[in-house]
Amino acid sequence: MFIETIPNRGSPPAVLLREAYRDEHGRAQKRTLANLSKLPVDLIGGLKALLKGGTVIGTGPDEIQIERSLPHGHVAAALGTIRRIALDRLILSTTKDEASRRHYDLVVAMIVDRLIAPRSKLGFVRAVDQETAISSLGSVLRLGKVKEREAYEALDWLVERQARIETGLARRHLQDGVLVLYDVSSSYFEGRCCPLARYGHSRDHRGDRPQIVYGLLCTREGLPIAVEVFDGNTADPKTLSSQVQKIKDRFGISRMVLVGDRGMITSARIRDDLKPAGVDWITCLRAPAIQALAAENGPLQLSLFDDRDLAEISAPDLFPGERLIVCRNRDLAAERARKREDLLAATEHELARVQAQVQRKHSALRSSAQIGIAVGAVLDRKKMAKHFDVEVADGYLSWQRRIEQIEEEARLDGIYVIRTSIPAGHLDAAEAVQAYKDLSRVERSFRSMKTIDLEIRPIRHWTAQHVRAHVFLCMLAYHVEWHLREALAPLLFHDTDLEAARGERTSPVAKTEPSEAAKAKKATKRSADGHHVMSFDALIAHLGTLVRNTMRVPLHTKHRFMLHSTPTSVQEAAFKLLDLDPLRVQ
């Protein structure tokens, strides 16, 4: 049986219930069993579905139930981006045995989970388990039951392929003559079992905890390519040689420019690592070297900056074959002067407190040795010992500022000197300055990896292999995040007209002011298309409100289907920018 609609000229069409049969000659015929024209439209639609073998669901509260509701939009955005940039194919490569596919699925799941809600590996296992799932990630990737042991095995599998994956990323994003950014950071440990954990200079201000050090290689745009983990007490310059070897030998790049800060690319590293490898560099001079250049008969004369903020000088005796580009940032000079005065005042306040203790009757601070220890602690804490003359005796303390020394230091406030081996014909002074300032993009990567989005710390793994895998996993997650931020920039507070804003500066030394588009977004909290703009983590959380519902019909217990919530206008705009259909991401 079937329902057929018959046109009826100017009258409403006739809706007939018919049956197909064959006559005595074997010819196909059909006959009308009933006229359904006067039945309601929705009832006719239900009859059609039944006749086709479907299930008709009523409209009452007990006719359909939501069996499970899981956040899905953020999973679709992250997983779809991994597919779009082909990171998944790079991770799996040609190894496609069953065990490798399982490890690969878990690695991709951990990358997505790190992006949407950073947590421990045990937390990840619970987050993707069917019983305790908090997103659609486990069901979309069909992970099934995941054991904690499997997560660690997948980490071991990943770190064994780190070199191949990084080489693949380098082939995609680096080429001969490229400019590479490199910087180092550290993260503290919980526990002391890992052999990499050592006490060292803590950038997290957690001197009470052992730590690891890791170096990040990025493209000039800030896209991470490779990461390497070192012992926690490794000095920054000691990490440089392995990076040069990695880029030259493993990545096969013969010509490159390495950009690093003044604490990284030192004269010793240039002499021992960069020059022998034929690598060019861009870095900055330390304060003592700048003071030597600014000596009475030195090449750095402050009169050069009466009407400009950038000048190129040469010092063949001190830096043979190198270019020196001197910059003066007046805003930076004002900030350093303010900070110095605040530190001087704070130091004097602390010294006055020690002096009051010394002068108090029956004070414990009586001997010159005891007073010296207390004064030394104050000066060391504020790093102001060079600016004070202190006189200590038994029961006596006095001090005064070294005015001439302070004025000599203030004379160079706002001055920094870019040091590079690249000839002017290949990179002019303005481009060299901007290349050095682009190191801030690596700092942005560290902020996202450590605190804002991915939370690489605190590190709780015990073995060196798991620590390296954890850091590499976080780098891959930021690699995906970088692509997400680039695509979603119109919906974020990002400045989408940054290059135009840079072009409006009078000098590369000057601070880049936000473009008009960025100012408008900040003022109105709306994009050019009228959508709400927000931070990256807020947008990811909002995408997560696009929910995947598992629906169940009580009268037909085997009949289940997926029903997604209706996307908001911001979600529609986000997935349009990502060029993804969240319902089809698998």
Cβ atoms within 10 Å, residue 244:
21
pLDDT score for 265: 92
Amino acid letter, 227: V
- Which phi and psi angles does 272 have, rounded to 5°? -95, -30
**Which residues of the chain have a pLDDT value below 70?**
54-63, 95, 555-557
Q: Using one digit for the tens of pLDDT, what is the confidence trace for 281-333?
A: 999 999 889 988 988 788 888 887 878 888 899 898 889 989 999 999 988 99
Helix (H) / strand (E) containing 19: strand 11-22
CB 462 within 8 A of CB 194: yes
pLDDT score for 557: 65
Amino acid letter, 83: R
Q: Which residue has the tokens 């010793």?
A: 268
Name the DSSP class of 195. T
What are the residues facing 419 on neighbouring strands? Answer: 283, 324
3 state DSSP class of 417? strand
Rounded to the nearest 10 degrees, the angle between the axes of helix 464-488 and helix 536-543 is 90
Q: Using one digit for the tens of pLDDT, what is the confidence trace for 174-200?
A: 988 889 999 999 988 877 788 888 999
What b/e readout covers 394-428, taking b as 16+ CB neighbours within 10 angstroms? eeebebeeeeeebeebeebbbbbbbbbbbeeeebe
CB 187 within 8 A of CB 198: no
Q: Using one digit for the tens of pLDDT, what is the confidence trace for 411-429?
A: 999 999 999 999 988 889 9
**Cα–Cα distance measured from residue 198 to residue 204, given in angstroms and rounded to the nearest whole number:** 14
Rounded to the nearest 10 degrees, the angle between the axes of helix 368-382 and helix 330-359 is 160
Helix (H) / strand (E) containing 367: none
pTM of the model: 0.84
pLDDT score for 11: 82
Burial (CB < 10 A; 0-12, 13-18, 19+), residue 520, is middle
Go through the chain and tell me how many residues it has: 586
pLDDT score for 421: 93
Helix (H) / strand (E) containing 194: none
pLDDT score for 536: 93
